[in-house]
Amino acid sequence: HPLCCLSLQEVGPTMVGDEHSDPSLMSFLGATKRNMLGNHFWEYYVNDAPRIVLNKLESCGYRVVSMTGVGQTLVWCLHKE
């Protein structure tokens, strides 16, 4: 069960899923579904800082596999056994 989170800043908002994400996990994270103008897809986001989101995901059994920075965007890839 891979999952990627990304944040444009270290304080949030944090994008936590796309339109195919598990609705119950998105609800647990308190995520809101939105469609940004010009995009042809939906995404889930939270206003929490990434560290808060990562702590919540850890409590569900997810572990960080990798992390990278792309410009001002930070991306974490997680995996759940």
| Cβ atoms 33, 42 nearer than 8 A | yes
Encode burial over 25-44: b for 16+ CB neighbours within 10 A, e otherwise.
bbeebebeeeeeeeeeeebb
Q: Would you give the end-to-end CA distance of the chain in angstroms?
A: 7
pLDDT at 74: 83
pLDDT at 16: 93
Mean pLDDT on 9-25: 86
Read off the pTM. 0.80
Nearest one of 33, 81, 25 to 57, comparing CA atoms:
25
Distance, CA of 60 to CA of 79 (rounded, Å) = 11
